[in-house]
Amino acid sequence: MNSKRLRAALVTAAVGLAVVAVAPPAARAQQNCVVSGTLVVPVPWSQQLLAPDRVWPLTTGAGQRVAVVSTGAADNPQLAGHLAERANFAPADIGESSGSPDCLGTGTGVSGIIAAQPTSVVGFHGMAPGAQILSAKVVGDSYPTGREPRESVAPQVLAAAINWAVDRNASVIAVPTITYEDNGALRGAVQRALSRNIVVVAAVGERQSNEAPGLVPYPAGYDGVIGVGSLAESGLVTQDSRATAVDLVAPGANVVTTFPNTGLGAVAGTEFATAYVAGTVALVRSHLPQLSNQDVAKRLYATAAPAPEGTGSASYGYGVVNPYQAVSDQVAAGNPVALPPLVPPTIPPDVAARQAAEDRSDDWAFGLAAGGFALVVLVSAIVVFGPLGRRRRWRAGLAPVPQDRPEDERPEPPVELFSDRPKRS
């Protein structure tokens, strides 16, 4: 190598090192974020199970604003035109921030399961493609450190995001992100949403091996909130789906959804199961706008597909969410009321004595009638069969049973006719 080429190579290497050295912090942090997805063509098993497109002739969720309280929402071609508003409530990241609208990808995936548009290229689409998404970001590039269990956030942050969704006229609020603190601010935000006739759907989270017993996920643990567990392709709940505050289950293992920027990919968790239930709520609210949020929840519970452990199971709740039945079935109004206990009537003594006397009288009457009938039958038999028996001297009138006479297997030659006459000479 001559000196000119060597100097050129050294200059090029130096420039490259300089570029790396002056790379902005956001670019370095961006490298730790979820990358774009790929082209996934087949129809996912979750869509085959729930078949939301069966109800699209009735409703696509048009007119519904579904708030997603999660990690934000990034652009994706299948979400184009359906990310109505975005707001950031996440605390500042420790260290360098990527500046990405959704570094972790959860919010983008939840939004896709709810409202991704169908295409002719891939089999995946959202539950309610007519709905609009309100994205409330409560998690930045990572979940806050020092919080146990992991992947939980401060309740005040969730409360601020829920209040923002209420102010933006959301009809459904999906909360895939969890806290384990029963906080007054969060409780008040949930009650405010419910009082505004908004349906609140929340994940119950994943059980961890070292978590304290009796841990309750919020806001799923509040009254009036639909808690959602995760279902596997086998039809059973996933092993780590928490069996606390579960009202419904939905697909949450190896489900396909949108990734940030472009493409699709497989994800898992109760947060994505929450998206299927929130999408179903959007379909119901669009088709039956006169229903209250309580009526919508009752309809989802009443039309859920039966689960292996039956209704009321800690792991399955009322069963598997069923979009087609939830939209199309006729559900009786009102609340079920338990029947009062059966109290046997009290019979006065004189009435009981009179009834007993009548019963004895009826028994004697039936007995005499039966005896009289038997006597008539006996007399009739004597009159009819008596003379016949005397004529036969009371012998049996049946012919004797014929006896078998076996023939000789080798008979003699036939006897000639008139063989007994003497022969003439």
Please check whether residue 350 lies inside any domain of the structure: no
- The rounded distance, in Å, linking the Cα atoms of 153 and 150 is 9
Q: What angle do CA 62, 331, 219 make, to 5 degrees?
A: 65
Within 10 angstroms of residue 293's Cβ, the number of other Cβ atoms is 21
- State the pairing for strand pair 172-175/132-137: unpaired
Please check whether residue 305 lies inside any domain of the structure: yes
**For residue 389, what pLDDT is reported?**
67
Please check whether residue 354 lies inside any domain of the structure: no
Is the pLDDT reported for residue 236 higher than 80? yes
Tens digit of each residue's pLDDT (9 = 90 or more) over 139-186: 999 998 766 676 789 999 999 999 999 999 999 999 999 999 999 999
**130, two tokens:** 């007519």
Tens digit of each residue's pLDDT (9 = 90 or more) over 85-136: 999 999 988 878 889 999 999 999 999 999 999 999 999 999 999 999 999 9
Is the pLDDT reported for residue 6 higher than 90? no
Within 10 angstroms of residue 186's Cβ, the number of other Cβ atoms is 23
CA-based radius of gyration for the chain: 42
Q: What is the mean pLDDT of the chain?
A: 86
- The rounded distance, in Å, linking the Cα atoms of 261 and 256 is 15
Q: Measured in whole angstroms, how far is the alpha carbon of residue 245 from the centre of its chain?
A: 15
Tens digit of each residue's pLDDT (9 = 90 or more) over 26-61: 566 677 899 999 999 999 999 999 999 999 999 999
**Whether 153 contacts 104, CB under 8 Å:** no
Within 10 angstroms of residue 180's Cβ, the number of other Cβ atoms is 17
Tens digit of each residue's pLDDT (9 = 90 or more) over 309-367: 888 899 999 999 999 999 998 766 666 677 778 777 788 888 888 888 888 888 888 88
**For residue 388, what pLDDT is reported?**
67
CATH of the domain at 178: 3.40.50.200
**For residue 348, what pLDDT is reported?**
85
Please check whether residue 166 lies inside any domain of the structure: yes
**For residue 400, what pLDDT is reported?**
66
Please check whether residue 6 lies inside any domain of the structure: no
- The rounded distance, in Å, linking the Cα atoms of 338 and 129 is 41
Tokens 């997603």 locate to 68
3-state helix, strand, coil split of the chain in percent (to 5) is 35, 15, 50
> Residue 278 is part of which domain span?
26-328
Please check whether residue 270 lies inside any domain of the structure: yes
Tens digit of each residue's pLDDT (9 = 90 or more) over 374-409: 888 888 777 777 776 677 666 666 666 666 666 555
Reported in sequence order, the residue ranges of 292-401 that DSSP labels E, i.e. its strands, are none
**For residue 309, what pLDDT is reported?**
85
Is the pLDDT reported for residue 240 higher than 90? yes
- The rounded distance, in Å, linking the Cα atoms of 215 and 164 is 27
Total domains in the chain come to: 1
Q: Which of 379, 384, 385 is nearest to 397 (CA)?
A: 385
**Whether 114 contacts 32, CB under 8 Å:** no
- The rounded distance, in Å, linking the Cα atoms of 22 and 96 is 14
Please check whether residue 417 lies inside any domain of the structure: no
**Whether 318 contacts 304, CB under 8 Å:** yes
The secondary structure of residue 66, as a DSSP letter, is: E
Q: Quick one: average pLDDT of 261-273?
A: 97
- The rounded distance, in Å, linking the Cα atoms of 220 and 228 is 8
Please check whether residue 384 lies inside any domain of the structure: no
From residue 92, alpha-carbon distances to 138, 159, 178, 179 in Å are 10, 17, 18, 18
Tens digit of each residue's pLDDT (9 = 90 or more) over 173-228: 999 999 999 999 999 999 999 999 999 999 999 998 888 888 999 999 999 999 99
- The rounded distance, in Å, linking the Cα atoms of 24 and 62 is 42
On the CB side of 310, CA atoms within 13 Å amount to 0
Task: Write out the DSSP string of 370-412.
Answer: HHHHHHHHHHHHHHHHHHHHHHTTT---SPPPPPP-PPPSSPP
Q: Quick one: average pLDDT of 229-244?
A: 96
**Whether 67 contacts 173, CB under 8 Å:** yes
* Type and span of the H or E element at 184: helix 184-195
**111, two tokens:** 């939004």
